[in-house]
Structure 1
Amino acid sequence: MNLEDTILSAYHSIRSNPMRSFLTILGIIIGVAAVIAMVAVGQGAQYSVQKQIESLGTNVLVVFPGAQMQTGRVRMEAGFTSRLTIEDVEAIKNQCDAVAYATPIVRTMAQVIYGNNNWRTGIYGVNTDYFQIRAWGLSSGSYFTEQDVKAGAKVCVIGQTVKNALFGDEDPIGKIIRIRDVPVRVVGVLEPKGQNVMGQDQDDIIIAPYTTVMSRLSRFYFIGSILVSAVSQNLIPVAQQQVTQVLREKHKIQPWQEDDFTVRTQTEIASTAQETSRIMTILLGSIASVSLIVGGIGVMNIMLVSVTERTREIGIRVSVGARKRDILFQFLLEAVVLTVTGGVFGIIFGVIISRIISEFAGWPVFISPGAIILAFGFSAAVGIFFGFYPARKAANLNPVEALRYE
């Protein structure tokens, strides 16, 4: 029997029991669809994280108070409060040649009121370098100025989410909002940026001069972090070195002592976030793959039943000249055809499910050709692996005993 005859025989056998064949491949369809959908969600998350990292700005470094642990987290020394100050920011700007911009970040939460509307949001105190570092444009109005920072002026720019919550379709430029009963004038509205790597809405924000936030809105006299931008991407390592050296000198840290601050680059932040997303993708794909294995067990079970039902047929084929390898190949091919057919339908349903998730849940999805090829190949491998034992059992049947089987 040639290859074409074997394939036709396998398809004829499958078509002779359409309902059983469908129920057999149902597990494969579900498994492949789950793998495609879960991997698409995971890869979409990785792509989204990359875009969100890019939204932080260009050539960015972040300075946190506290020493860095081996795990990458920041810890504070026992019995000692590590702080960053405005003087640290000025030293970085004045003494680090590889640094283009630097801004303090003073953050607090507050209820904001305009007319009958109120909204709780994050208040960021920064200097004018912040907008350059974040590459954050305006949709209307203007930024506050250096003079506003020096004077502690009661002005701010607001994100799109805050604008929509407080003003709706009304133009907010020049309007007065109240933050903790302090009247603050809106001078600009920021362009939308979407979510950050933690899933937080970057547009739910009010940005004001750090002098205003520290003296009028928060009463914080130390800053939470420092945002720094290197002159170029190539100079990021140099900028990191220079910032570290300047802060060690400012904080009077001895050579044998560890830093009481942490300087992290945008690349390090991106790597951590991407690694988390990659692990999530692998985990989701692995969980979904379990259903493929269960489907494979179902295929093996049905193929064993098929071998038992067709024992007499096998005996007749052997008696008219079919070799063991012909029988083995036919039953193995039937298993592969079943799983590959299930794989094709699973891929189609997986793509559809991914689109539905993206449409209704609002999650980003990315269906890569590699994931489709992998799912298709895995479904074929499941057919070979779980179909081999039934096929070998069929090939090893004694033809005399098989012909006697009723």
Structure 2
Amino acid sequence: MATTIMNTVGQAEHADDHALILTPLTTTGAAPIALWEVTRISLASLVANKTRSLLTMLGVIIGVASVVALLALGGGASTYITDQITAIGTNVLTVEPGSPSSQGPGNSGAAETLTLDDANAIIALNLPVIGVAPSFNGNGQLIAPAADKSATIAGITPAYQVINNLTLKSGTFLDDGQVKGASPVIVLGATVANDLFGSGQAVGQNVRIKDQPLRVIGVLAKKGSGGFGSVDDQAFVPVTLAQQRLFGGRTPDGNSWRVSSIALSVTKASDMSGVQSRIEMLLRDRHHLGTDGSKDDFRVMNQASFLATLTTITSLFTAFLAAVAGISLVVGGIGIMNIMLVSVTERTREIGLRKAVGARSGDILLQFIVEALVISLAGGLIGLALGAGLAFAVTLTGLLKTPVTLSAILLSVGFSMAVGLFFGIYPARRAAALNPIDALRYE
């Protein structure tokens, strides 16, 4: 036995430089080795095999980076969508032509079932709303003396300003008299005004749309995107002007004027459902539809419900993407287990020698587990830095704000350590269970 041990010592001293090093865990076996000492030994072993350690970490690095980046992107997208909807208020109801099955913002298709008379009938209900604003939209080329620009032209009423929280930078907004008289006036969004007139004064200037001269009476303050569009890129005229002179809004029977949508801002959130039900009943009666809603030729979009639905969808989608990215973490864990098994095989004689001179099985078990944890933790931290860098790069582009949250950090790092622990247990148990006599005989 003594001869075997001495031979093994000699072989261990000339072991392959690329094998992980198992420093003596204890000399007497009287007490378990301290955790900090095991950690130091594990780090020394990993540093001695930099290439192998880095390749082992690679799966964990990719997995953590993917999880962090995707969670940041998903969170940023969810925040962006929420801001888009709340920019026009969550107490807003929007009535659009088309069946409820085609529900979605700006998805009215070719339906032409809403009229100005419908809007007036809703106003006559005296609902608990701040305002009712029918609109009739089209696209047109605005021609100024020195420039021209293609933009969305929205035919609206004064209530549109209140419902959409629009602020004037200069001039005035449309009034009821201009709507009744289909006056040739226009209010420009901030971007439209800048593109047409630069830094000059836009109010009082004239523009043309389809050979119709229009006088600029106001310019809106810059608002940014909201409601799946930007008012900065739009221009606003009286709804009657848009219907009668610009885009031809007469209904096929010639008895009324078509509208693209009817927006309402409900006074209290608790009244949303009641107001929506009364509007649906009114329009079904006016359009001679069934009371069950199966034949509706309109849809009422509830901003609060729509926001809740979108938030749920984006959260589920983000979780799905993170779960898919997490698969690479599991693959990385399998890589850790494979390398640790190889390490156990390479170090079989060393493990036998340590046990022969008094090392405990628990000490060997602990060292291999700590080595697996160190690999996974180091990979997790590198992956965290990489994922955060990717998220920051997206934020720098200005397309989307993608903050890395504390929960994402804790989740990714915690999961990477859990993977290291789970996949490191089997190799560690295998190393600890080695019989010292059999291990010393291993070739």
TM-score (norm 1): 0.91
The corresponding residue for 2:67 is 35
Q: Is 1:208 aligned to residue 208 of structure 2?
A: no
How far apart, CA to CA, are the structure 2 residues paired with 1:272 and 1:105? 26
Q: Secondary structure at the match of 1:203?
A: helix
> 1:25 aligned to 25, 44, 57, which one?
57
How far apart, CA to CA, are the structure 1 residues paired with 2:103 and 2:207? 40
How far apart, CA to CA, are the structure 2 residues paired with 1:301 and 1:24? 9
Deviation at 1:219, TM superposition (A): 0.5
Larger-Rg structure: 2
Q: Does the CA-based 8 Å contact 2:373-2:424 persist in structure 1?
A: yes
The corresponding residue for 1:50 is 82
Show CA shifts across 1:222-269 (max 9, x none). Answer: 112111111222222221122222222322334356333221211122
How far apart, CA to CA, are the structure 2 residues paired with 1:304 and 1:116? 76
The corresponding residue for 1:122 is 152
How far apart, CA to CA, are the structure 1 residues paired with 2:370 and 2:281? 68
Deviation at 1:73, TM superposition (A): 5.8
Q: Secondary structure at the match of 2:232?
A: coil
Q: Secondary structure at the match of 2:288?
A: coil
Q: Which amino acid aligns with 2:72?
A: A
How far apart, CA to CA, are the structure 2 residues paired with 1:205 and 1:257? 34
Gap change, CA 1:197 and 1:306, over 3 Å in 2: farther
Q: Does the CA-based 8 Å contact 2:190-2:233 persist in structure 1?
A: yes
Q: Is 1:177 aligned to residue 207 of structure 2?
A: yes
Deviation at 1:309, TM superposition (A): 1.8
> 1:84 aligned to 107, 111, 114, which one?
114
Q: Does the CA-based 8 Å contact 2:281-2:291 persist in structure 1?
A: no
How far apart, CA to CA, are the structure 2 residues paired with 1:184 and 1:293? 65
Show CA shifts across 1:76-118 (max 9, x none). Answer: 9xxx966111111111112143222111121111122213422
Gap change, CA 1:37 and 1:303, over 3 Å in 2: same
How far apart, CA to CA, are the structure 1 residues paired with 2:146 and 2:204? 18
Q: Secondary structure at the match of 1:356?
A: helix
Show CA shifts across 1:200-235 (max 9, x none). Answer: 444211111110111111102311211111122222
Q: Secondary structure at the match of 1:316?
A: helix
Question: Aligned Cα RMSD in Å?
Answer: 2.3
Q: Is 1:147 aligned to residue 154 of structure 2?
A: no
> 2:91 aligned to 59, 79, 84, which one?
59
Q: Does the CA-based 8 Å contact 1:296-1:383 persist in structure 2?
A: yes
Show CA shifts across 1:23-81 (max 9, x none). Answer: 32233223212221221111011111111111113510011223323x8569x9xxx96
The corresponding residue for 1:344 is 381
Gap change, CA 1:347 and 1:16, over 3 Å in 2: same
Structure 2 gap segments, 5+ residues each: 1-31, 251-257
Q: Does the CA-based 8 Å contact 1:52-1:197 persist in structure 2?
A: yes
Q: Which amino acid aligns with 1:337?
A: V
Deviation at 1:361, TM superposition (A): 5.0
How far apart, CA to CA, are the structure 1 residues paired with 2:145 and 2:55? 63
Q: Which amino acid aligns with 1:360?
A: T
> 1:236 aligned to 250, 256, 272, which one?
272
Q: How does 1:257-336 map to 2 (within 5 A)?
A: 258=294, 259-336=296-373
Q: Which amino acid aligns with 1:188?
A: G
Deviation at 1:131, TM superposition (A): 0.6
Q: Which amino acid aligns with 1:220?
A: G
Greater shift, 168-177 or 149-158, is seen at 168-177
Corresponding residue pairs, total: 400
Deviation at 1:382, TM superposition (A): 1.4
Q: Does the CA-based 8 Å contact 1:197-1:273 persist in structure 2?
A: no
Q: Which amino acid aligns with 2:235?
A: I
Gap change, CA 1:39 and 1:67, over 3 Å in 2: same
